[in-house]
């Protein structure tokens, strides 16, 4: 059997931590016995909810909704509209403006107008199409450009500014400008949105929900039903993928199920059809970026001006944090001496764009890479040289938002190691030689860095709770506020708790995340799941352990340092007692064997109003090198080889981290290549199923794919076992693929910057190729 | 006449007498049998989460194919063995593909995993497979994973799928084969009433007469298209006739002249013959739908429905394929291009069904090329599909050209202007070709949609003609396409 990856840099003195143990549910996944919400045994009389919407209109005033025919359909029990909401008709994360069910206006294509509750899902689906909706249409704003013309935003503009970019541009040897379009991305979690609400006594509601943010589902359901938060339990054992798409976007479906349940007194399950899911829920923000960069003859950046115009959709949702993070990452890994970064959060009549792995960061970074490529192409230098020249270093080490880049040596080392292991310079020569001989197929090569800030930039989210019980048989019940969406968080936290108690993994029983066990939790997002929850769980376990140590010391008259926990036993000097015996004895002495741990990230001081302070505890680093080949007649592209090197500090579980690195890269590659969201002129999303929206398949993975974890000295910050967060940063490793395609297209006519927009579909690649040829022709014509 | 559907599951005979014409296998597993291991990801056969294995006898041997259960009808299980993820672990011991996937990090969120397990199960049992990562990724073209990035899944396949099959299914295969033979009773199946039924005739005469009586019935071969009418359009199809039990429609005849494909021959079963006919056609074949779609989908069904999703017809039209239609009043033959009248409209008369397609083999002096352009390499629908058959004279000039495109009009269509302007053109002289490129501009007025813009389609149509001519002329230089077939090995 293939050996799991090891973290060669990490201390090896632990039994469970730093070990490549498999995902806690792996055996259940492959056996089909891992239970997702739609697989749960349904309570007697469970009904099914299906959202109703209008397929012909995008935006307008709702004149009438005739639901008579819907109600008359076989199996229909109830049809609910916004009039039936006893509480507040809002499922937004923070800012309001997200109706659970439309009121007077249709805000976007796919907005839910009513919900059908029926005895079967099929009956509800059929009935939902029978509504007669009368809409007085309003011309929708679809693109960012539409919204800019109308000057409509969902949130105020924001900017970071340092020094005088105006002076900087004047002092620059050269100034490049450009406009860059970056596409959005559909999450395409394999398990679509789903929830099941089961009514409880006294108006309470137990909601099983596929969400990254159970607390928000709890609050939303309570708000919509008009009951106290304490009456609602939100529970999630696992999601079939989240990627940010079940952070705020899960609220509405849980609320609809709960509404149906409240109205009928029966359990109600809602599971969206894939097309409905893709049409109704928000996606990664797409951007128009207007950039300007001044530099010297060597390519050293002097001044930068970037305007990020984000398509936020019809409501604010999480756009504040997403767009802020775009700005926080508009520097990629480069020092901008004089800089202004603007951001406008444009309001369009489209679904409300939301969190997606990287949370705006990838868009900021790929824009930065475009600027670096532009400098290199204009100066005829290798892009990697220009990248390295502009990296943060000992002197140039403060970001545009004022945070010092402390681990710049890690950035340099990761890139240097990959430069060597990927054999970058020899391959650069080989690519050049290939292109000289190949008129149609052109190769491209790029090596790009990743520097990603870890912490929620909204300070209050950087907290977590855990609930740990030790039972008298020596088994441990583990619960925390983090959710499991495939990343292996439950497994990692369990390893930390097993280490703390010195018990074997089978003694730690992982339980579903529930708002009744750990309250007021943060979403499992921002890559923070393990950093926060493992710390909270470790604290809970260590408190219980300390009580046992105190108990043992007293009973055996020894010092605390003579007591240790290992192999399901408590070692007291030369004496070894089973943990169960010690736990039982402690219980007899009325010692509390349960604790609620709590952790809040220290050292975060970001103040948004003054745009100052430290938003991140630390940065995660990585680098990737991609080689592609492009058909310049058709725009087809193939990724031939990819080398990744990624910094996870001292990994809690190298195998799981490797899974995040590879999976994140491939997801990022999809975003930048094959995944294209297309709205037609009327504002209807046309890519709303896997038949038209293309995420990578197995054959899109490069045949030569080399992935390593960086041999780290450990996170300099005091994180859980000195590990680093890994959920999001690897997405941006895919920037190398896009830059390599840019490099291939640039090879057609040296000195011209390809107008390649993301995603680099065959069509977008051909547009860039044509633009290059036209530029060349114009240049020849101009002499 | 039989009024039940019979199939094997877990070594046991299952007999169902209450099968609706539109009941899907996925709903049967999840809602009726409460076996929830099999997941619904998309409900349109594009993600593979619902993959199950269907075992059938092919030339007397037991062959397991991966099938998207969300768009497979229960009635189509007749005479087969159904295997789903819940059936694999035996006495607490996981199947080798399960064990490898679990141990090697092949699952993260786990939702796609049962589908991968079942696809790998069918690969595990596949005979004569080549042991390579490429073979694995081809086999997995219909399974989407959003978490892992596939590397560990392919590793698990390499680890587990290329040993001699040794599981409970191989152990009882003799018994299974005997049982499947027994199930093949050659009786017509009819379940339901004259208003609402699922039928599966055993003879072509039976089919013709049934279809004559119910010309509004829906004919189903692989259900890879009709399945979506049910799951996505929520159409009620009260009368369904499944064609899968007709020996005469499932025949494949290869000769020097060409290949005759029965209408219910699946893409999968035609693949080798197509590759022998032309390596380009073989390469295209591997990119039609996914492994699952090719295992169920048929060329005949794709043509008969006039499916807007048609990457094969342009290639077949360029090769000069003809269609055979059959009804109670006899048979007729027509050129494939004449069958497609306009978008959504075909030359198929009431009571008439497609019985076969004949694809001529290119002659020694003919060069065939076809190209599929799509956003994604595997399991995508082309934005532009182009196919070329050049007949080359002894002096290197083009004596005849048949050129057909998909994605350029409402139907797959020949580029008559370009064909005409190429006649007499020299393959050695590229300046001769420009007239044909220009002619394409008047041959087609393509549309913009979610797959590509009109402008891109037009220029790509020209580029592909140029590419075909460059390749045919042998002046192309080292290599001018990314993932084409190995021409030299084949020609």
CA A52 from chain centre, in angstroms, equals 29
In the predicted structure, residue B92 carries a pLDDT above the cut 90: no
Backbone angles phi, psi at A647, to 5 degrees: -95, 110
Domains and CATH numbers, chain B: 7-182 (3.10.20.30), 189-242 (3.30.43.10), 254-360 (3.30.465.10), 366-490 (3.30.390.50)
Nearest neighbour of A699 by CB, restricted to B100, B377, B383: B377
Mean local confidence (pLDDT), A488-506 = 98
What does each C-alpha distance from A170 to A92, A173, A290, A300 come to in angstroms? 45, 8, 19, 15
Chain-chain contact of A659 with B88 (C-beta, under 8 angstroms): no
**Residue A756 pLDDT greater than 70, yes or no:** yes
Q: Which two tokens stand for residue A772?
A: 């290059």
User: How many CB atoms sit inside 10 A of residue B428's CB?
Assistant: 12
Rg for chain B (alpha carbons), in Å?
Answer: 23
Any bridge partners for residue B330, and if so which? B327
Q: Which residues, 6 or more positions from A745, have their beta carbon under 8 angstroms from its beta carbon? A: A442, A444, A630, A632, A754, A756, A765, A768, A769, A772
* CA–CA dist B118, A420 (Å, integer): 41
Task: Kindly report, residue by residue over B368-378, the tens digit of the pLDDT.
Answer: 999 999 999 99
Q: Do A191 and B147 touch (CB under 8 A)?
A: no
| Residue A728 bears catalytic tag | yes
Residue B243 to chain A, least CA–CA distance (Å): 26
Chain B CB contacts of A25 below 8 Å: 107, 110
Write b or e for each residue in B80-99: b if 16 or more Cβ atoms lie within 10 A of its Cβ, otherwise e: bbbbbbbbbbeeeebbbbbb
- Kindly state whether A75 is in contact with chain B, defined as any CB-CB distance less than 8 angstroms: no
pLDDT score for B306: 79
Q: Which residue does chain A place closest to B233, by CA atoms? A: A126
Contact B47 A656 (CB under 8 A): no
Alpha-carbon gap, residue A608 to A585, rounded angstroms: 52
Report d(CA A226, CA A228) in Å as an integer.
Answer: 7
CB within 8 Å of A555: residues ≥ 6 apart: A585
Cβ–Cβ contact B224 with A under 8 A: no
Cβ of residue A666 closer than 8 Å to a chain B Cβ: yes
State whether residue B24 sits within 8 Å of chain A by CB.
Answer: no
C-alpha to C-alpha distance for B389 and B399, rounded to whole angstroms: 11
Report the pLDDT value the prediction gives residue B309, as an integer from 0 to 100.
66
CA distance A686 to chain B (A): 6
Q: Do A663 and B149 touch (CB under 8 A)?
A: yes
Three-state DSSP at A179 gives: strand
B484 falls in which pLDDT band (50, 70, 90)? Answer: confident
Angle among Cα A355, A688, A106 to the nearest 5 degrees reads: 75
Q: From the list B43, B375, B479, which residue is nearest A441 (CB)?
A: B479
Question: Which of A129, A275, A694 is nearest residue B375 as measured by Cβ atoms?
Answer: A694
Residue B19 C-alpha, separation from nearest chain A C-alpha, in angstroms: 16
Contact A687, B450 (CB under 8 A): yes
**pLDDT (0 to 100) of residue B491:** 38
Q: What is the pLDDT of residue B465?
A: 97
Q: What pLDDT band is residue B310 in, cutting at 50, 70 and 90?
A: confident
Please give the structure tokens belonging to residue A189: 């979690």
Q: From B457, which residue of chain A is nearest by alpha-carbon distance?
A: A763
How far apart CA A124 and CA A70 sit, in angstroms, is 9
Strand partners, A232: A205
Give the whole-angstrom CA distance, residue B242 versus residue B207.
Answer: 9
Judged by a CB distance cut-off of 8 A, whether residue A130 touches chain B is: no
Nearest Cα to A257, choosing from A272, A246, A267? Answer: A267
pLDDT at B489: 40
**Residues A719-740: what's their mean pLDDT?**
98
Question: Which H or E run includes A4?
Answer: none
Measure in Å the smallest separation between the Cα of A29 and chain B Cα atoms.
5
Cβ neighbours for A498, distance < 8 A, ≥ 6 positions apart: A15, A16, A476, A504, A505, A507, A508
Tell whether B381 is within 8 A of chain A (Cβ): yes
Backbone angles phi, psi at B36, to 5 degrees: -95, 10
Q: Inform me whether the C-beta atom of residue B168 falls under 8 Å from chain A C-beta atoms.
A: no
Identify which of B117, B143, B453 has the shortest CB distance to residue A30. Answer: B117
Structural domains of chain A sorted by starting position, each given as residue range(s) with its CATH number in brackets: 1-34+404-458+608-783 (3.30.365.10), 463-600 (3.30.365.10)
Do B110 and A34 make contact, defined as CB atoms within 8 angstroms? yes
Residues from chain A that touch B154, judged by Cβ atoms under 8 A, are 698, 701
Is the pTM for the entire model greater than 0.95?
Answer: yes
Rounded Cα gap, residues A656 and A489, in angstroms: 9
Of A244, A340, A246, the C-alpha closest to A285 is A244
Rounded to a whole number of angstroms, the distance from the CA of A729 to the nearest CA of chain B is 14
pLDDT at A1 over 80: no
pLDDT of residue A9: 66
Q: Which of B38, B144, B377 sits opposite A32 (nearest CB)?
A: B38
pLDDT over 60 at B490, yes or no:
no
CA distance A22 to B381: 37
Residue B238 touches partner A, C-beta closer than 8 Å: no
Query: B362, A661 in Cβ contact below 8 A?
Result: no
Closest approach of A163 to chain B, Cα-based (Å)? 42
Check if A55 contacts B (Cβ < 8 Å): no
What is the phi-psi region of residue B398: left when phi exceeds 0, alpha when psi lies from -120 to 50, beta otherwise?
A: beta
Beta strands per DSSP E along B104-226:
189-192, 197-200, 218-220
* Interface mutation vs chain A, best among B110, B124, B309, most A CBs within 10 Å: B110
With beta carbons under 8 A apart, name residues in chain A contacting B464: 633-634
Mean pLDDT, rounded, for B112-141: 97
* Local confidence band at A7 (pLDDT 50, 70, 90 cut-offs): low
């Amino acid at each position: 059997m293939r050996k799991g990856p090891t973290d060669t840099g990490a201390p090896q003195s632990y039994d469970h931590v730093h070990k490549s143990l498999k995902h806690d549910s792996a055996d259940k996944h492959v056996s089909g016995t891992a239970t997702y919400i739609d697989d749960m045994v349904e309570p007697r009389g469970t009904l099914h909810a299906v959202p109703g919407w209008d397929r012909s209109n995008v935006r307008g005033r709702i004149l009438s909704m005739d639901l008579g025919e819907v109600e008359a359909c076989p199996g229909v029990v109830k049809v609910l509209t916004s009039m039936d909401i006893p509480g507040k008709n809002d499922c937004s994360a923070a800012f309001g403006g997200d109706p659970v069910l439309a009121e007077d206006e249709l805000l976007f294509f796919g907005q839910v107008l009513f919900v059908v509750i029926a005895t079967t899902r099929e009956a509800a689906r059929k009935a939902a199409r029978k509504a007669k909706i009368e809409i007085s249409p309003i011309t929708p704003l679809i693109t960012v450009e539409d919204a800019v013309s109308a000057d409509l935003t969902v949130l105020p503009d924001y900017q970071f500014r340092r020094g005088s970019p105006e002076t900087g541009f004047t002092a620059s040897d050269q100034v490049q400008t450009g406009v860059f379009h970056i596409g959005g991305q559909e999450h395409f979690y394999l398990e679509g949105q789903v929830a099941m609400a089961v009514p409880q006594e006294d108006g309470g509601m137990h909601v099983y929900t596929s969400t990254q943010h159970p607390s928000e589902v709890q609050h939303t359901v309570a708000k919509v039903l008009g009951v106290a938060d304490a009456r609602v339990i939100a529970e999630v054992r696992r999601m079939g993928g989240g990627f940010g798409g079940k952070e705020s976007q899960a609220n509405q479906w849980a609320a609809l199920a709960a509404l149906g349940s409240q109205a009928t007194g029966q359990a109600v399950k809602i599971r969206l059809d894939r097309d409905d899911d893709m049409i109704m829920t928000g996606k990664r923000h797409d951007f128009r970026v207007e950039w300007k960069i001044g530099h010297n003859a060597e390519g050293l950046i002097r001044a930068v001006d970037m305007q990020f115009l984000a398509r936020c959709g019809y409501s604010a949702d999480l756009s504040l944090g997403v767009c802020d993070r775009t700005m926080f990452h508009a520097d990629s890994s480069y020092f901008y001496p004089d800089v202004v970064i603007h951001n406008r959060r444009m309001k369009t009549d489209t679904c409300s764009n939301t969190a997606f792995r990287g949370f705006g960061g990838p868009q900021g970074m790929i824009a930065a890479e475009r600027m670096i490529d532009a400098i290199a192409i204009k100066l005829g230098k290798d892009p990697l040289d220009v990248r390295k020249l502009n990296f943060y270093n000992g002197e140039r080490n403060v970001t545009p938002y004022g945070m010092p880049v402390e681990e710049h040596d890690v950035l340099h080392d990761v890139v240097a190691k990959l430069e060597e292991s990927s054999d970058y310079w020899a391959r650069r020569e080989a690519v050049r030689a290939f292109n000289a001989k190949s008129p149609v197929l052109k190769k491209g090569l790029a090596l790009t860095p990743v520097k990603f800030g870890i912490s929620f930039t909204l300070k209050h989210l950087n907290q977590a709770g855990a609930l740990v019980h030790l039972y008298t048989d020596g088994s441990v019940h583990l619960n925390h506020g983090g959710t499991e969406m495939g990343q292996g968080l439950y497994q990692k936290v369990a390893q930390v708790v097993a280490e703390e108690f010195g018990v074997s993994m089978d003694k730690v029983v992982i339980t579903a995340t529930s708002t009744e066990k750990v309250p007021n939790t943060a979403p499992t997002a921002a890559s923070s799941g393990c950093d926060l929850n493992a710390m909270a769980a470790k604290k809970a376990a260590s408190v219980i352990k300390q009580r046992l140590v105190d108990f043992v010391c007293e009973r055996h008259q020894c010092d605390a340092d003579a007591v240790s926990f290992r192999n399901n036993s408590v070692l007291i000097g030369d004496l070894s007692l089973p943990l169960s015996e010690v736990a039982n004895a402690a219980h007899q002495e009325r010692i509390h064997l349960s604790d609620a741990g709590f952790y809040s990230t220290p050292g975060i001081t970001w103040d948004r109003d003054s745009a100052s302070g430290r938003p991140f505890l630390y940065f995660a680093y990585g680098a990737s090198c991609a080689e592609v080949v492009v058909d310049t007649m058709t725009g087809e592209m193939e990724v031939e080889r990819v080398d990744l090197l990624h910094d996870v500090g001292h990994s809690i579980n190298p195998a799981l981290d490797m899974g995040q690195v590879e999976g994140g890269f491939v997801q990022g590659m999809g975003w930048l290549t094959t995944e294209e969201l297309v709205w037609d002129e009327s504002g209807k999303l046309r890519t709303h199923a896997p038949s038209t929206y293309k995420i990578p398949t197995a054959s899109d993975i490069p045949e030569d794919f080399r992935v390593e974890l960086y041999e780290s000295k450990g996170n300099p910050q005091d994180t859980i076992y000195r590990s680093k967060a890994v959920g999001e940063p690897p997405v941006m490793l895919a920037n190398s693929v896009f830059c390599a395609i840019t490099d291939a297209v640039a090879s057609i006519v040296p000195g011209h910057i390809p107008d390649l927009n993301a995603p680099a579909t065959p069509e977008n690649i051909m547009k860039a190729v044509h633009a290059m040829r036209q530029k060349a022709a114009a240049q020849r014509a101009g002499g | 006449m039989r009024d039940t559907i019979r199939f094997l599951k877990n070594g046991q005979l299952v007999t169902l007498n209450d099968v609706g014409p539109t009941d899907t296998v996925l709903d049967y597993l999840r809602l009726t049998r409460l076996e929830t291991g099999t997941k619904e990801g998309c409900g349109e056969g594009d993600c593979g989460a619902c993959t199950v294995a269907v075992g059938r006898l092919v030339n007397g041997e037991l062959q397991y194919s991966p099938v998207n259960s969300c768009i497979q009808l229960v009635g189509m299980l007749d005479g087969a063995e159904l295997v789903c993820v819940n059936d694999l672990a035996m006495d607490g011991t996981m199947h080798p593909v399960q064990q490898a996937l679990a141990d090697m990090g092949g699952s993260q969120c786990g939702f796609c995993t049962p589908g991968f397990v079942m696809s790998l199960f069918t690969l595990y049992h596949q005979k004569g497979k080549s042991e390579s990562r490429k073979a694995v990724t081809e086999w997995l073209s219909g399974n989407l994973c959003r978490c892992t990035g596939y590397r560990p899944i392919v590793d698990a396949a390499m680890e587990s799928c290329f040993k001699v099959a040794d599981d409970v299914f191989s152990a009882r295969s003799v018994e299974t084969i005997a049982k499947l033979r027994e199930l093949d009773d050659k009786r017509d199946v009819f379940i339901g009433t004259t208003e609402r039924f699922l039928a599966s005739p055993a003879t072509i005469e039976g089919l013709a007469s049934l279809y004559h009586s119910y010309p509004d019935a829906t004919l189903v071969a692989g259900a890879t298209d009709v399945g979506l009418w049910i799951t996505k359009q929520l159409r009620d199809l009260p009368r369904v006739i499944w064609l899968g039990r007709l020996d005469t429609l499932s025949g494949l005849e290869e000769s020097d002249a060409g290949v005759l494909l029965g209408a219910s021959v699946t893409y999968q079963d035609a693949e080798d013959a197509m590759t022998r006919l032309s390596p380009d056609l073989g390469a295209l074949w591997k990119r039609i739908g996914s492994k699952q779609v090719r295992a169920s989908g048929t060329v005949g069904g794709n043509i008969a429905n006039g499916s807007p999703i048609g990457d094969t017809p342009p290639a077949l039209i360029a090769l000069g394929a003809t269609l055979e239609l059959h009804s109670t009043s006899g048979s007729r033959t027509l050129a494939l291009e004449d069958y497609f009248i306009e978008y959504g409209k075909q030359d198929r008369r009431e009571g008439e069904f497609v019985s076969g397609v004949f694809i001529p083999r290119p002659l020694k002096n003919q060069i065939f090329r076809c190209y599929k352009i799509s956003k994604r390499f595997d399991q995508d629908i082309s934005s532009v599909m182009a196919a070329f058959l050049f007949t080359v004279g002894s002096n290197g000039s083009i004596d005849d050209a048949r050129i057909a495109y998909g994605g350029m009009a409402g139907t797959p269509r020949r580029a008559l202007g370009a064909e005409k302007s190429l006649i007499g053109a020299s393959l050695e002289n590229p300046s001769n070709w420009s007239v044909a490129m220009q002619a394409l501009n008047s041959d087609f007025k393509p549309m913009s949609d979610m797959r590509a813009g009109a402008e891109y389609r037009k220029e790509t149509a020209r580029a592909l003609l140029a590419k075909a001519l460059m390749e045919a002329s042998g002046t192309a230089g080292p290599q001018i396409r990314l993932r084409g077939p190995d021409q030299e090995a084949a020609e």
